[in-house]
Structure 1
């Protein structure tokens, strides 16, 4: 009996030592939660890209998590999409890009829930630092919470969590009033002044900077994806035939690269090739002379100084009319404005002749003849003379 007790005691001690050892050695040095405003907005793709870039820029042994906020003020309006863990930068990026923005901004709910995430004993907190990086857009918090309530809730939940949390706020494309509201919330969380950004490039750079743990600010976390781009590295990814070479390589946002492919002496026609950084590697997206804009942001094409072909935008499609912004660049409000005014001119007998010629300021409209088509098959068109953008109107009863 005594021997059995001794064995059981020894096993208990060993298990205790193992558990204690795991508790001491498994916690990461740093833990960061990305808290993302997923309320309704047209620019959420920029936010998702910035979160992905920031996550990819962190150390592999840093614990990362992703939480979203946005919805209705009275319901469930925040959720943890990726729970804390190391080595999951790619998962953070994938989850951020899969978010469908909806509802109102509910920042306070997200902040409180993010604090409560740190209150649990597991997943482990950071042994050195614990951060919440907040990306706010639009109305910041549309639920009418005043500053005193925000301050009280944050302090109450932080005290219960029993851990110091370093909040870092980033406001993207905010109005002056929205920026002021975000500064008040940051002050209530005892955080630094929010960083404000206006472009995708600024947001990517800022997110990388604020995501670095305090004691690592002066250190390089890892090489930027743009630093890995060279004619040789691109050739290993895509080279349709031997003897070709990449010229004029341009990398933007640590994610997109445009390389010009040609022969060694550059005598033939240039072939542009677009690459994207995915899953920690460069992959070819498209290689052709006329490049569609695709998912590459317009400011990236502008920075490359390379024109891309936009998809035509159908602005209206009813039983008796179809309005198309053929350029994909004009925008539906302007397209519909000139189309409706031209239709009114036709109905009012102001358009001249069988060609229905009509001009309004910078716009010239007509019902042209086109080779290969009967006249009735050709849609009426309006062309903006300054930049040749086209609005096409089909199926109007003439």
Structure 2
């Protein structure tokens, strides 16, 4: 019996040592949650790409998580899409790009849920830093809390969590009013002044800067994926059935897309145009030819390349009373929004003259005259003045 007790005691001691060892060695130095505004908007793809770039730029030993917010104020409006863990940058990127934006901004709910995520004993917190990187794209919060209420609620949850959290706020394409509201919430979270961005490139750069822990900035920022877009790497990623292929004029955008020219032997064309995407830590072939479809590559990337692509018009709505077509890639959320507002303006008598001229922000709408068609046959159109993208209300004539 004594021998049995000694063996049992030894096992208990051994388990204790193993458990203690895991507790010491498993916690990461740094843990970061990306908190993403997934409320309805036409520019969410830029945010998803920037989150993916920031995640891939961080150390594989960092614990990363992804949480979204956005929806209805009186129902569940935030959820954790990727739980904290190391070595899952690609998982974060894929989950961000799979989000379908909808609903209103519910930032406060997202912040409180992110704080509560850190309150649990497991997954482990970071030994050195625990950070929440927030990306806001519109209203800071549509659920009506005052700045004082927000400050009190955040303080209560933070004290309950028992951990010091470093909040970093990034506002993308915000109006001055929206930026002011985000600044107030950042102050309530005892955070730095929000970083504001206007373009996708600015957003990618800023997300990388605010995500990497301060003590690792000098040594942990990895080489940009664009730096790896060499002719040799692209040739390895896409091997044509020819004797030789030579890539040149390689143009990279957003650390994710490459447009390159290629010559082949025997010669297939004067200059073969090939598009690649950086995915799963490698360059992947997307499409090639001399006349390319836009596909999933964002319009601003094509614009930066100064290369026209062919966008297939998308019918965003087709009912008995309304047909809305995205002709050039504005995105259905933006197309439906401006179409409905234009229709309401016409019904309210706010559109001017026979051409039904009406403007709202970046959009200019009218009922144009076109050669070869009676006026009644021509659909109404709205043009976004910043990029000349067209939304059509009615049958497709082009």
**Which TM-score applies when normalising by structure 2?**
0.82
Match runs of 1:105-120 below 5 Å: 105-120=105-120
Determine which structure has more spread, i.e. the larger CA radius of gyration: 1
**Structure 1 gaps, min length 5:** 346-359, 369-378
Cα root mean square deviation, aligned: 3.3
Match runs of 1:1-398 below 5 Å: 1-240=1-240, 241-263=242-264, 269-314=270-315, 364-367=370-373
8 Å CA contact 1:135–1:170 kept in 2: the answer is yes
State which drifts further: 233-242 or 27-36.
233-242
Separation in 2 of the partners of 1:39 and 1:381? 30
Separation in 1 of the partners of 2:233 and 2:396? 51
**Which TM-score applies when normalising by structure 1?**
0.82
Offset from partner CA, 1:155-183 (integer Å, 9 cap, x none): 11111111111000001111100000000
8 Å CA contact 2:367–2:379 kept in 1: the answer is no
SS at 1:61 equivalent:
coil
Q: Displacement of 1:264 after TM fit?
A: 7.9
**Structure 2 gaps, min length 5:** 344-350, 356-365, 382-387
Pair 1:361–1:144, CA change in 2 (3 A): closer
Q: Where does residue 384 of structure 2 map in the other structure?
A: none
Pair 1:259–1:366, CA change in 2 (3 A): same
Aligned length: 362
Q: Where does residue 358 of structure 2 map in the other structure?
A: none
Q: Displacement of 1:204 after TM fit?
A: 1.1
Q: Where does residue 375 of structure 1 map in the other structure?
A: none
SS at 2:219 equivalent:
coil
Separation in 2 of the partners of 1:20 and 1:321? 65
Offset from partner CA, 1:210-239 (integer Å, 9 cap, x none): 110121122243221101111111111113
Pair 1:122–1:380, CA change in 2 (3 A): closer
Offset from partner CA, 1:87-143 (integer Å, 9 cap, x none): 111111111111111111110111011001101100000011100000011111000
8 Å CA contact 2:367–2:380 kept in 1: the answer is no
Q: Displacement of 1:362 after TM fit?
A: 9.1
8 Å CA contact 1:33–1:131 kept in 2: the answer is yes
Q: Displacement of 1:72 after TM fit?
A: 1.2
Q: Displacement of 1:5 after TM fit?
A: 2.4
Separation in 1 of the partners of 2:324 and 2:18? 70
Pair 1:193–1:393, CA change in 2 (3 A): closer
SS at 1:170 equivalent:
strand
Pair 1:176–1:364, CA change in 2 (3 A): same
8 Å CA contact 1:363–1:382 kept in 2: the answer is no
Offset from partner CA, 1:306-363 (integer Å, 9 cap, x none): 11112135588677998877666899779x99xxx9xx89xxxxxxxxxxxxxx9996
8 Å CA contact 2:368–2:378 kept in 1: the answer is no
8 Å CA contact 1:115–1:161 kept in 2: the answer is yes
